[in-house]
């Protein structure tokens, strides 16, 4: 394909995408295929001679679409949202075209610098403490990770490295393996499974802190304090706590104003996972949910969930970037470049004579030290396009609309005596169930999903099987919510059939 053909095909592809998204609600939201459906639809091997572009495009409807779960259908209410907007898609096209691997400033200065500035823009939208903003005199800054799971792991690895360094500083003779085998990390029993997985990958003990329905599934300071004391008495070394703001099952919020000071006093790294809920903190009315951030060592959320920036874009800030760099720094000769020491510019440290006085500061000239992979895509372009084309006000309106839609669904549920709401509705997630057994709720969910008109997933809260209704798509309107509840069959009709 030459540039002339690319121009033509590109325009056709944009039309295809716009048609797909404009007409998406006509498609069943959930596919009707069995595992392995695709293999029989395409050849066993790649073609020896090239296929035509027309052949490939024809196969999108024949091969791909039958097996697509349409996450951007306004009838998709499962999991949490994944973002989708036209500005982000256009920016992604440009990112693909530039196709740089921005692991260092020299590898692509614009990629490194735009990311730093976009992280500051977003940090300021969230009213993060100055410590976390790279363009100030703080020692922190932000970086785009692929997913919240990666951010949790990166924070855990940095915390492990910091804990080992701190102990060795006071007891240099102690063998490192003797330290790591005693480390213990904590998270809520409501935390995402990626937190437990991070513990498995890092090879450290991860303890789950029990929560109660009566405390709205939030970790209590007293429980954390007791577990820390018990573990210390048993010779263990508490070093990491992952708080969740907006848990996956019910969108519960740990009390970080209470938990943060405990972590700080015990020199425990507090990471905050706000994968879904974090986007809402750009609205002043939801920002109090982030109070206590000043006690955190690191904080992460996914603009690729609820801030109109297509996957992948998971934003992570650290209070002290030296904690991350200390854990991950590698400097082979083939990655060195003339400007790498300008990293010092936002960390004026009189002990490091190489500090440059660049203005504005360039804190991430070595972004490979902030993450697990070396390579990084030009993901900040998506943020730049979206932030400029929606503006803060447009993004706030978007979040507020989803919360209103969730409240509308909640009131429909509350008006029906057969149902109950299982957890406070704070943002765009409604947890509800039929009053009655788990079995009847399981059957209801199965019937709803088998109908393929809407798609929901369940969760378990205090031993109860609960249906989760998350407002997800950018195009969801009140009529879709009413339709999901009472119109065209769906939840009400399936309930009536059960009775
Ligand atoms: N943390 C929370 C609270 C989540 O809800 C999720 C996913 O929904 C994750 C982490 C995992 O996100 P990611 O896919 O970005 O790793």
Can you tell me which atom of ligand 1 is nearest the CA of 246?
A: 3
pLDDT by residue for the chain (499 residues), tens only, comes to: 999 999 999 999 999 999 999 999 999 999 999 999 999 999 999 999 999 999 999 999 999 999 999 999 999 999 999 999 999 999 999 999 999 888 888 888 999 999 999 999 999 999 999 999 988 777 888 999 999 999 999 999 999 999 999 999 988 888 888 888 999 999 999 999 999 999 999 999 999 999 999 999 999 999 999 999 999 999 999 999 999 999 999 999 999 999 999 999 999 999 999 999 999 999 999 999 999 999 999 999 999 999 999 999 999 999 988 888 777 666 666 666 666 655 433 332 222 222 333 334 444 445 667 877 778 899 999 999 999 999 999 999 999 999 999 999 999 999 999 999 999 999 999 999 999 999 999 999 999 999 899 999 999 999 999 999 999 999 999 999 999 998 544 666 667 667 6
Among protein residues, the one with the nearest Cα to ligand 1's atom 5 is 248
Can you tell me which atom of ligand 1 is nearest the CA of 79?
A: 8
Task: Please tell me the pTM assigned to this model.
Answer: 0.90
Q: How far apart are CA 179 and CA 239, in angstroms?
A: 11
Can you tell me which atom of ligand 1 is nearest the CA of 312?
A: 15
Res 136: pLDDT: 74
* Tokens 């809407």, located at residue: 454
Res 317: pLDDT: 96
Q: For residues 322 and 86, is the Cβ–Cβ distance under 8 A?
A: no
Residue in 290, 293, 302, 288 with CA at minimum distance from that of residue 263: 293
Q: How far apart are CA 184 and CA 447, in angstroms?
A: 43
Among protein residues, the one with the nearest Cα to ligand 1's atom 14 is 147
The torsion angles phi and psi of 315, rounded to 5 degrees, stand at -100, 130
CA 275–ligand 1 middle distance (angstroms):
5
Can you tell me which atom of ligand 1 is nearest the CA of 314?
A: 15
CA 222–ligand 1 middle distance (angstroms):
26
In this structure, what token pair is assigned to residue 293? 């951030």
3-state secondary structure of 435: coil
Whether the bond into 193 is cis, omega within 30 of 0: no
Q: For residues 89 and 37, is the Cβ–Cβ distance under 8 A?
A: no
Q: How far apart are CA 152 and CA 270, in angstroms?
A: 11
DSSP code for 339: T
CA 272–ligand 1 middle distance (angstroms):
12
Whether the bond into 201 is cis, omega within 30 of 0: no
CA 311–ligand 1 middle distance (angstroms):
12
Q: How far apart are CA 138 and CA 127, in angstroms?
A: 14
Q: How far apart are CA 275 and CA 271, in angstroms?
A: 12
CA 22–ligand 1 middle distance (angstroms):
28
Number of CB atoms found within 10 A of residue 3's CB:
7
Q: How far apart are CA 334 and CA 104, in angstroms?
A: 11
């Amino acid at each position: 394909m030459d540039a002339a053909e690319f121009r033509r095909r590109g325009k056709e592809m944009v039309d295809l995408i716009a048609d797909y998204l404009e007409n998406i609600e006509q498609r069943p939201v959930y596919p009707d295929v069995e595992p392995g459906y695709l293999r029989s639809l395409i050849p066993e091997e790649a073609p020896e001679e090239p296929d035509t572009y027309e052949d490939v495009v024809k196969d999108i409807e024949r091969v791909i679409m039958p097996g697509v779960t349409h996450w951007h259908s306004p009838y998709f209410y499962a999991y949490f949202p994944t973002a989708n907007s036209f500005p982000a898609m256009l920016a992604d096209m440009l990112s693909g075209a530039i196709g740089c691997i921005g692991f260092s400033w020299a590898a692509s200065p614009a990629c490194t610098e735009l990311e730093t500035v976009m992280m500051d823009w977003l940090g300021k939208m969230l009213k993060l403490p100055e410590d976390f903003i790279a363009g100030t005199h703080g020692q922190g800054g932000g970086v785009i990770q692929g997913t919240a799971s990666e951010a949790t792991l990166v924070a855990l690895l940095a915390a492990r490295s910091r804990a080992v360094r701190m102990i060795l500083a006071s007891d240099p003779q102690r063998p490192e393996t003797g330290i790591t085998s005693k480390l213990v990390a904590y998270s809520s029993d409501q935390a995402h499974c990626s937190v437990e997985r991070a513990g498995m990958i890092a090879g450290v003990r991860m303890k789950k802190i029990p929560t109660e329905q009566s405390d709205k599934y939030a970790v209590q300071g007293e429980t954390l304090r007791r577990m820390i004391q018990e573990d210390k008495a048993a010779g263990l070394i508490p070093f990491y706590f992952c708080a969740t703001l907006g848990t996956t099952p019910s969108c519960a919020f740990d009390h970080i104003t209470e938990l943060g000071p405990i972590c700080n006093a015990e020199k425990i790294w507090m990471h905050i996972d706000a994968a879904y809920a974090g986007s809402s903190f750009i609205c002043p009315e939801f920002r109090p949910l982030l109070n206590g951030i000043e006690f955190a060592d690191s904080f992460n959320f996914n603009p690729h969930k609820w801030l109109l920036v297509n996957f992948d874009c998971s934003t992570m800030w650290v209070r002290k970037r030296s904690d991350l760099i200390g854990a991950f720094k590698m400097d082979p000769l083939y990655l060195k470049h003339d400007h790498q020491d300008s990293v010092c510019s936002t960390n004026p440290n009189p002990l490091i004579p190489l500090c440059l006085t660049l203005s504005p500061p360039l804190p991430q000239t070595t972004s490979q030290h902030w993450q697990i992979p070396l390579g990084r895509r030009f993901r900040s372009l998506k943020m730049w396009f979206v932030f400029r084309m929606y503006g803060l006000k447009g993004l706030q309106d978007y979040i507020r609309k989803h919360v209103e839609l969730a409240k509308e669904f909640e009131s429909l549920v509350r008006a029906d005596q057969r149902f109950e709401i299982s957890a406070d509705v704070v943002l765009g997630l409604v947890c509800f169930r039929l009053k009655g057994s788990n079995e009847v709720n399981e059957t209801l969910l199965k019937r709803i999903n088998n109908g393929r008109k809407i798609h929901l997933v369940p969760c378990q809260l205090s031993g109860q099987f609960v249906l989760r209704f998350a407002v997800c798509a950018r195009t969801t309107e009140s009529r879709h919510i009413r339709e999901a509840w009472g119109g065209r069959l769906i939840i009400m009709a399936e309930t009536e059939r059960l009775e």
